[in-house]
């Protein structure tokens, strides 16, 4: 018997099933060795007997116990050969589930992981992205539950400048492809959530990123050798992935919970129904006052009889705090119905102090001697009123209304829903690799250095939403339009540390500096989105300077080691964007400052320049003045806020900036006509820099025959 069909029958009926699951090449090798061992006649006889037995079974005739009973004794060799092959099979399985080695492992195929993958791919590094689900951005296949993103997608800005437009495109990732933008999958201002995985899939495909799907990393541990520290990642199949640098971009997907009496009676945001009809005429209590809570409330306002919301703090509105993670206007309809007294409301209380309980005997009444079941209702009471601790069944005397007859939440609820956000998944880390809990964000996030490396865990960096502890409630690092820039900053740190590639920079003449700063503050999207977190650095060297984009400001004490640049003796200038520190009525009549002489009173986002003679130290960074992103500098300059966010007015913006730069550089930065430069070069030992670097180096209008013919009519020639 020969041929593909015969071979398939032989493998299925003669060899052990585990061998038949191996590659075709491996099966062919086994059959070849089998023929050598027992001979073709013996194998053919075995196949014939198995096929005959199969036909007898189909006809209802009982088959022999074993087809081998009628076969040659040489088949003992066949049995032995199967056992040997199983050992070989186990060896191949070990190779299949064996070790994989990379320089960089990115855990998570969401937007942060793919963004890092782009930079690693562009730098031609040895990397892999490991994603546990079947496609990128799987979080957005489920969340937000009510399927509308709150990240704006402003397509029309009136400008063609790509960098400027990214200030108002909160969904696109960074790449060199000008067409690889989110607007290709959605034109809506608040896009449907389903479009984001589509965009990420397009990003992966068109850039050719290396992503392994279906790899669920369940354990991460550090392995220390005599020469280096590496990370060992183990997936659900037992495969191992070794890497020198671990980049964790798993996001936040573990629901945040609070342990209180009756928490088992509460539904979770992750599992509630999204059909408003399921809440028809029901009283609903929502725990939480963030966007997920208000998103849920807004979806059921037209169906529920009343919706109450409870959390430990009052509502924080994004347009007041300038933090995009606070309540967005697109989700705040319940504030209207609360303030206009339409049955809905907001209450403050610590969740640890409440009890969600059933009232004893609440679910039964007697009618004709029969027990009649009623829908179970839930009551909110306070821990101090409950006699039996840890009991979710209370008596009437244990309800707040028994003690305070006008208690705000004295009526029962049909449902209680937990909407408290998400936390980082620490469970996948062994103790040798686990980052510490952050001091902010209630410990939901990992603690990180200013360059997003896990504290006391060298070589492990946390990207994206999970890295938000560095700017929690202060900037946009927890969201795509913010962390796409912090990921780029981390990659620049990696390039310097492991490949000795300095932080990208531009060398400018001092006469070019003012124009370059105006260009950056007018269009740069990184400092604009990551205000007070990422800033541009200018290293002053006399006649020229070195300009670095988007350096993590809190890492200034480690500037030289992270960037590969040194600060010259003349010092440095830091350019960043920041809001005012004063709390005001942001819709009041005096909300904006327009007088450039009072620019330091600006309330809205505006550029600020800090001049330091030397780098701030670690101690300086620990002793920041309240509300300041950086230590007190030698000199500081605020560019007055602008309604159009265009800092290009000659008197209000440009002239004050020039005077500040002249103060820092101790030089004249004015521009001059050729005649003035000529006169200055004759009367001064050292003409102004503009004349030195331009006129005296013949950097004026370039001579050409085309210009020559216009000289007589223009009056330029004698």
Q: Which of these ranges, 29-33, 86-90, 657-661, 700-704, has the smallest mean pLDDT?
A: 86-90
Closest CA to 137 of 162, 176, 108, 160: 108
396 has pLDDT over 80: yes
Q: What is the DSSP string of 658-693?
A: HHHHHHHHTS------HHHHHHHHHH-SS--HHHHH
- Residue 380 pairs with which residues in a beta bridge? 356
pLDDT value for 92: 40
Position 121 pLDDT exceeds 90: yes
Q: Using DSSP bridges, classify how beta strands 240-248 and 99-107 pair: parallel, antiparallel or unpaired.
A: parallel
DSSP 603-617: -SSEEEEEEESSPPP
Q: Which residue has the tokens 């939480």?
A: 288
When pLDDT is averaged across residues 575-593 and rounded to a whole number, the result is 92
Share of the chain above pLDDT 70, in %: 81
Helices vs strands, H then E, count in the chain? 22, 25
Question: Do the beta carbons of residue 379 and residue 359 sit within 8 Å?
Answer: yes
Q: By C-alpha distance, which of 537, 424, 553 is closest to 478?
A: 424
**What are residue 148's DSSP bridge partners?**
192
Q: List the end-to-end C-alpha distance of the chain, in Å, as a whole number.
A: 105
The residue with greater pLDDT, 44 or 414, is 414
Q: What average pLDDT does the structure give for the chain?
A: 87
Residue 65: the pLDDT is 41
Question: Nearest to residue 285, comparing CAs of 317, 318, 262?
Answer: 262
d(CA 425, CA 170): 25
Residue range 316-344: average pLDDT? 96
Residue 88 pLDDT exceeds 50: no
Question: In this structure, which long-range contacts are made by residues 320-323, counting pairs with CB atoms below 8 Å and at least 24 apart in sequence?
Answer: 320/586, 321/473, 322/579, 322/605, 323/473, 323/474, 323/475
* Spatial distance between the Cα atoms of 537 and 526, rounded to a whole number of angstroms: 13
Of 4-8, 230-234, 592-596, the one with minimum mean pLDDT is 4-8
Does the pLDDT at position 529 exceed 50? yes
**What gap in Å lies between CA 382 and CA 579, rounded to an integer?**
40
Could you tell me the pLDDT band of residue 576, with boundaries at 50, 70 and 90? very high
Q: Using an 8 Å Cβ cutoff, are 15 and 88 in contact?
A: no
- As given in the structure block, the two tokens for residue 698 are 């013949």
CA pair distance 624, 617, nearest whole angstrom: 11
What span, in angstroms and rounded, lies between the C-alpha atoms of 612 and 597?
Answer: 22
User: Comparing 1 with 355, which gets the higher pLDDT?
Assistant: 355
Q: How far apart are CA 638 and CA 605, in angstroms?
A: 11
Instruction: Measure the CA angle with vertex 525, ends 521 and 529; round to 5°.
Output: 105
Position 674 scores a pLDDT of 85
Rounded CA separation 431/424 (Å)? 16
| Structure letter (DSSP) for residue 261 | B
pLDDT band at 715 (very low <50, low <70, confident <90, very high): low
Window from 575-589, 601-615, 651-665 with minimum mean pLDDT: 575-589
For a pLDDT cut of 90, what percent of the chain falls above it? 72
Rounded to 5 degrees, φ, ψ at 441 are 55, 30
What is the average per-residue pLDDT within 702-716? 56
339's tokens = 């303030």
Place of tokens 């900037």: 475
Which of the pair, 567 or 17, is modelled with greater confidence?
567
Mean pLDDT, residues 300-329:
96
CA distance 461 to 670: 45
For 362-386, what is each residue's pLDDT tens digit? 444 434 444 444 568 999 999 999 8
* Predicted local distance difference test score (pLDDT) of residue 58: 45
Sign (positive or negative) of CA dihedral 491, 493, 494, 500: positive
Q: Give per-residue pLDDT as tens, 615-663.
A: 999 999 999 998 899 999 999 999 999 999 999 999 999 999 999 999 9
The C-alpha angle 595, 528, 558, rounded to 5 degrees, equals 110
Complete DSSP assignment for 352-368: GGEEEEEETTTTEEEET
Residues paired with 505 in a beta bridge: 548
Reported as type and span, the H/E element at residue 331 is: none
- Predicted local confidence at residue 59, as pLDDT: 45
Report the pLDDT averaged over residues 114-134.
98
How confident is the model over 31-55, as pLDDT tens digits? 555 555 555 555 556 555 545 554 4
Q: Phi/psi zone of residue 385: left (φ > 0), alpha (ψ -120 to 50 degrees), beta? A: alpha
pLDDT at 183 exceeding the cut of 80? yes
Q: Are strands 354-359 and 378-382 parallel, antiparallel or unpaired?
A: antiparallel
């Amino acid at each position: 018997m020969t041929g593909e069909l015969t071979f398939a029958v032989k493998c299925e009926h003669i060899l052990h099933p585990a061998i038949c699951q191996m590659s075709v090449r491996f099966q062919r090798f086994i059959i070849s060795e089998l023929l050598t061992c027992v001979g073709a006649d013996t194998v053919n006889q075995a196949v014939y007997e198995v096929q005959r037995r199969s036909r007898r079974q189909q006809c209802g005739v009982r088959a022999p116990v074993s087809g081998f009973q009628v076969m040659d004794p040489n088949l003992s060799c066949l049995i032995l050969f199967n056992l040997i092959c199983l050992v070989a099979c186990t060896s191949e399985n070990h190779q299949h589930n064996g070790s994989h080695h990379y320089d960089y492992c990115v855990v998570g195929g969401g937007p942060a992981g793919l963004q890092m993958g782009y930079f690693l791919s562009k730098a031609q590094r040895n990397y892999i992205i490991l994603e546990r689900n079947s496609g990128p951005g799987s979080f957005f296949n489920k969340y937000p539950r009510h399927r509308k993103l709150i990240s704006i997608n402003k397509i029309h800005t009136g400008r063609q400048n790509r960098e400027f437009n990214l200030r108002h495109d909160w969904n696109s990732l960074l790449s060199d492809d000008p067409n690889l933008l989110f607007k290709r999958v959605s034109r809506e201002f608040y896009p449907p959530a389903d479009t984001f995985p589509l965009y990420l899939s397009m990003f992966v495909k068109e850039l050719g990123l290396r992503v392994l799907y279906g790899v669920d990393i369940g354990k991460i541990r550090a392995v220390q050798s005599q020469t280096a520290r590496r990370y060992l990642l183990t997936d659900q199949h037992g495969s191992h992935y070794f890497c020198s640098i671990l980049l964790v971009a798993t996001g936040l997907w573990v629901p945040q919970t609070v342990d209180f009496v009756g928490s088992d009676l509460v539904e979770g945001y992750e599992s509630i129904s999204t059909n408003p009809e399921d809440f028809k005429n029901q009283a609903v209590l929502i725990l939480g006052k963030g966007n997920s809570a208000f998103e849920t409330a807004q979806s059921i306002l037209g169906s529920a009889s009343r919706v109450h919301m409870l959390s430990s703090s009052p509502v924080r509105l994004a347009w007041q705090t300038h933090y995009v993670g606070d309540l967005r206007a697109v989700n705040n309809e319940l504030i209207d119905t609360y303030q206009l007294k339409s049955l809905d409301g907001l209450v403050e209380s610590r969740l640890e102090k409440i009890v969600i309980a059933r009232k004893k005997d609440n679910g039964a009444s007697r009618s004709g001697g029969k027990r009649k079941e009623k829908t179970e209702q839930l009551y909110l009471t306070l821990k101090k009123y409950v006699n039996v601790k840890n009991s979710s069944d209370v008596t009437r005397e244990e309800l707040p209304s028994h003690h305070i007859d006008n208690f705000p939440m004295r009526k029962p609820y049909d449902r209680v829903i937990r909407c408290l956000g998400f936390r980082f998944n620490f469970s996948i880390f062994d103790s040798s690799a686990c980052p510490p809990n952050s001091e902010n964000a209630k410990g939901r996030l990992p603690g990180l250095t200013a360059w997003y490396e896990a504290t006391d865990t060298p070589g492990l960096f946390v990207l994206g939403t999970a890295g938000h502890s560095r700017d929690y409630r202060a900037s946009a690092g927890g969201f795509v339009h913010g962390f796409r820039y912090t990921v780029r900053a981390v990659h620049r740190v990696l390039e310097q540390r492991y490949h000795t590639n300095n932080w990208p920079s531009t060398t400018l003449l001092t006469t070019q500096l003012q124009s370059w700063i105006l260009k950056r503050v007018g269009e740069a999207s990184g400092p604009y989105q990551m205000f007070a977190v990422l800033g541009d650095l200018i290293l002053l060297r006399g006649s020229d300077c070195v300009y670095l984009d988007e350096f993590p400001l809190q890492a200034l004490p480690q500037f030289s080691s992270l960037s590969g640049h040194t600060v010259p003796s003349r010092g440095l200038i830091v350019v960043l964007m920041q809001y005012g520190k004063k709390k005001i009525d942001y819709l009041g009549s005096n909300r904006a400052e327009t007088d450039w002489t009072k620019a330091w009173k600006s309330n809205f986002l505006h550029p600020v320049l800090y001049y330091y003679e030397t780098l701030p130290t670690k101690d300086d960074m620990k002793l920041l003045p309240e509300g300041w992103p950086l230590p007190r500098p030698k000199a500081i300059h605020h560019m007055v806020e602008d309604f159009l966010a265009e800092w290009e007015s000659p008197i209000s913006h440009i002239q004050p900036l020039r005077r500040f730069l002249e103060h820092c550089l101790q030089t004249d930065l004015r521009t001059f006509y050729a005649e003035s430069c000529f006169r200055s070069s004759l009367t001064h030992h050292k003409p102004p820099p503009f004349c030195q670097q331009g006129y005296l180096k013949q950097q004026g209008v370039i001579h050409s025959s085309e210009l020559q013919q216009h000289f007589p009519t223009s009056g330029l020639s004698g």
